[in-house]
Amino acid sequence: MNGGRVATGQAAVDQLLEVLDLTPTGEMSFRGISPPVGPQRVYGGQVAGQALVAAGRTVDPERVVHSLHGYFVRAGDPAEPIAYEVENIRDGRSFSVRRAVALQHDKPIFFMSASFQRPEEGLDHHSPTPPDVPGPDDVPTMSERLARYPERLGMWGQIPRPIDVRYVGEPGWVRPGDRPADPHQRVWMRIDGKLPDDPLLHACALAYASDLTLLDSVLSVHGEVWGPGGVVGASLDHALWFHRSFRADEWFLYDCWSPSASGARGLASGRMFTEDGRQIASAVQEGLLRRVGA
């Protein structure tokens, strides 16, 4: 693994493809692994993406995922394989529904329902792209952001980076006091390399990316930050709707905001737009948010 260095760019993307390439252990069961270098608990987007891979492999490939709803119930151990068990809820004329459970030590750490639909024609509209948002080439790269905050390299340095993430405003991991309150958290993203032409794989990659910055928007409302002097948190549940075809290795804008926070929980909502203004997905997530030391 590059002498212990964290993979970036295409090397990190190839590693992500390995993580999403589950091993079949039965007709409706699979086994997944975590990256050899990573955080102390399994990243939520990883387990959601793997669960979607497991569910999707049991569905007619002509049927495309249009929604998923999941709950994170236990922290995952990245040193241990994850078992995925899929249940066929229904195969109808137009839709297929699956339930996937991720287990470690025979206990669920995540469970998800996902629905797949055969392509159909119908009404078509979507919300407009947020106005006056600079393009991905006009905002700082992650390396440029991190150069200003060397003390944060320890946190980001342990996470493989298969996604090129470019914040339009200040990230949630800057120093306390360096982040002005903002009702929106906007980020340009793309898989930082080339993906195969498999729609399910692109959907799984988008699911992986969708958990990365969504809860930042809850902190953004208050000008709060993650880590020392700020807040610690964890994803509680996650919902994602896929609206139109897309490639996850092409730029999309993740426009996020928080309608409510209370009881040490925050709700975040997000929309994803391609550079040419098509809305490709919507996400909603609730997270646990606690003051450091609380």
Q: Looking at residue 11, which CATH number applies to its domain?
A: 2.40.160.210
The answer to whether 211 is a known catalytic residue is yes
Q: Render pLDDT for 177-193 as a digit per residue (tens, 0 to 9).
A: 999 999 999 999 999 99
Which range is least confidently modeled, 27-31, 129-133, 226-230? 226-230
**Tokens standing for 122?**
């119908």
Give φ, ψ of 37 to 5 degrees.
-130, 130
User: Could you tell me the two tokens for 183?
Assistant: 């009702």
**Which of 151-155, 209-213, 252-256 has the lowest average pLDDT?**
151-155
Can you tell me the distance from the alpha carbon of 85 to that of 99, in angstroms, rounded to the nearest whole number? 8
* CB < 8 Å & 24+ apart, contacts of 7-10: 7/37, 7/160, 7/161, 7/162, 8/160, 8/161, 8/192, 9/192, 9/193, 10/192, 10/193, 10/194
Report how far apart, in Å, the C-alpha atoms of 72 and of each of 87, 286, 287 are.
18, 10, 10
pLDDT number for residue 146 = 85
| 54-65 CB burial, b ≥16 within 10 A, e <16 | bbbbbbeeebbb
Q: What band does 48 get if pLDDT is binned at 50, 70 and 90?
A: very high
Which entry of 104, 115, 220, 285 is annotated as an active-site residue?
285
Q: What is the pLDDT of residue 143?
A: 86
pLDDT of residue 47: 97
Write out pLDDT tens, residues 79-127. 999 999 999 999 999 999 999 999 999 999 999 999 999 999 999 999 9
Q: At 204, which helix (H) or strand (E)? A: helix 199-210
Predicted confidence band of residue 294 (pLDDT cuts 50, 70, 90): low
Task: Quote the pLDDT of residue 237.
Answer: 98
Mean pLDDT of the chain: 93
Domain annotation covers residue 223: yes
The pLDDT score that the predictor gives to residue 151 is 76
Q: Which of 96, 235, 258, 282 is catalytic?
A: 235
Q: Is 128 within the bounds of a domain?
A: no
Domain of 87, in residue numbers: 2-118+137-291
Over residues 135-141, mean pLDDT: 96
In a domain, 168, yes or no: yes
Whether 190 is in a domain gets the answer: yes
For residues 243 and 177, is the Cβ–Cβ distance under 8 A? Answer: no
Element holding 272 (H helix, E strand)? strand 265-274
Would 150 be classed as within a structural domain? yes
Does residue 235 carry a catalytic annotation? yes
The length of the chain in residues reads 294
> Distances in Å between the alpha carbon of 217 and those of 155, 252, 260, 277?
19, 17, 11, 21
| 164 catalytically annotated | no
In total, how many domains does the chain have? 1
The pLDDT of residue 4 is above 60: no
- DSSP secondary-structure letter at 172? T
Q: Would 244 be classed as within a structural domain?
A: yes
- Judged against a pLDDT cut of 80, whether residue 160 lies above it is answered with no
- Give the pLDDT score at 9: 84
Cα(first)–Cα(last) distance of the chain, in Å?
Answer: 37
For residue 269, is it within any domain? Answer: yes
Instruction: Flag whether 178 is in a domain.
Output: yes
How far, in Å, CA of 94 to CA of 266, rounded? 35
Residue 272's closest CA among 63, 130, 152?
130
User: pLDDT at residue 155 above 70?
Assistant: no
- Active-site position among 15, 34, 192, 211: 211
pLDDT at site 3? 40
With cut-offs at 50, 70 and 90, classify the pLDDT of residue 29.
very high
